[in-house]
Amino acid sequence: MQIFKKFTWLKPLFISFALVSIIIGTYTAGFHVGTLEGGKRPEPPAGSGRVITSATSTPTWLSRDVDFGIYWDVWTWLQSRYIDHPVEEPRLFYGSLAGMVASLGDPYSLFLEPKDAEEFSEELHGRFEGIGAEIGIRENRLTVISPLTESPAEKAGLKPDDWIIKIDQKDTAGIDLNDAVRKIRGERGTQVVLSILRQGFDEPKDFTITRDQIKIVSVRWEMKDDLYAYIKVTNFNADTGERFRQAVEQIFTKKPKGIIVDFRNDPGGYLDIAVEIASYWVEEGLPVVLERKSDKSTSEYRAVQNQTLAGYPTVLLVNKGSASASEIVAGALQDYALATLVGETTFGKGSIQDIKEFSDGSAVKLTIARWLTPKERQIDSEGIKPDVEIEITDEEAKEGKDPQLEKALELLKNPK
């Protein structure tokens, strides 16, 4: 079985997670670990043509308050009494696993069927189709976390913190996040209509978005005023570390007087890439982020040898769409006074997920810890507050103005 890297990713709209009925909140541990020592293989339940490979004996560590015989009672009853029986067994099987993970009540912990797990892996490598936006559940509302740069979502006018009231005229009140992803995702060239409510709107407005192939170029750069390097980081994907390294090499040939790194609308990605990027400034061996687990133990992720941007005046641009991995880097550089943060308070996604792939290709994305900045600041649900707070109004955005970037240039040109 393969263990994937830890990552801090928010829920992507361009991945289809299967929606199945949650028929039971818990499920026998045997399906995770195979046949348990000392256990016997049970007879197949009624209506089943397959041999079940999990054990009927209850593990010693399992609560005696749970009767797993009920699981097979429910399975048998569904297969014999459902109006459209028999139900496909993989549907019931994967649905029950999805229900078990969903019972945690954590929007970032998910069960992925084999096809969905493969697509999720492709997404982390920057290959997918859809509208190119991140969504999540915030204050019980389906919310746009961030549209990706130059994506159909951004071109249609979606913004961070938009509330998705309807999907193709269907109300999203109480919607499951998986269901929302399934409804919005679709083939290239097809359209989806999202009814959006945002601050300043008197009523929801419909946004028609044409789905397309999304290819993320996670790092881009250019010179501003011929003196200051501007680096845009859109995601912390598998290729981001190498792309960032190449950008820095090219930037050095321009001999910049300062650096601007733009993390606005960056939803995150791999944790180790965040540590690698932070290490361009943070002294080798110093903590970049602290990982606090359920037992209150703390692990430190320390800067590696890399400090090629140390000493350069640096400004980081952040906003409400900056999340997870981008918050890790922003928090570390702010704690060590290595950069000035300009923009808006970040999203506040301070949890870390691990993905475990199982023998059939399915996977579970599970929250395993929460992270803190080097000074042990809590980021989850609070976000990183910038040193200089500046918002971009709708009018400024329509006019193509960027007061946050302008402020960054001003700070570099006129250091205190």
pLDDT exceeds cutoff 50 at 38: no
Residue 159 domain-assigned (yes or no): no
Q: What is the pLDDT of residue 253?
A: 97
* pLDDT band at residue 106 using 50, 70 and 90 as cut-offs: confident
Q: Could you give the number of structural domains in the chain?
A: 1
Out of 349, 362, 404, 407, pick the active-site residue.
349
Q: Supply the pTM of this predicted model.
A: 0.67
pLDDT digits (tens, 9 = 90+) for 249-264: 999 999 999 999 999 9
Beta bridge partners of 228: 224, 258
Sequence-distant (6+) residues with CB within 8 A of 328 are 8, 271, 274, 275, 278, 288, 289, 371
Residue 156 domain-assigned (yes or no): no
Average pLDDT, the chain: 84
Tell how strand 110-112 and strand 228-233 pair up. unpaired
Q: Kindly calculate the radius of gyration of the chain based on its CA atoms and give it in whole angstroms.
A: 23
Residue 6 domain-assigned (yes or no): no
Percent of the chain residues topping a pLDDT of 90: 61
Residue 212 domain-assigned (yes or no): no
The range of the structural domain enclosing residue 406 comes to: 219-413
Out of 195, 218, 334, 353, pick the active-site residue.
353
Q: What is the pLDDT of residue 390?
A: 98
Q: Is 349 among the catalytic positions?
A: yes
Higher pLDDT pick, 134 / 278: 278
> Number of helices and strands (H, E) in the chain?
11, 19
Out of 109, 218, 324, 362, pick the active-site residue.
324
Residue type at 314 in one-letter notation: T
Residue 8 domain-assigned (yes or no): no
pLDDT digits (tens, 9 = 90+) for 214-268: 877 899 999 999 999 999 999 998 899 999 999 999 999 999 999 999 999 998 9
3-class DSSP state of 54: coil
Residue 274 domain-assigned (yes or no): yes
Give the CATH number of the domain where residue 283 resides: 3.90.226.10
Higher pLDDT pick, 300 / 353: 300
Residue 378 domain-assigned (yes or no): yes
Residue 250 domain-assigned (yes or no): yes
pLDDT exceeds cutoff 70 at 21: no
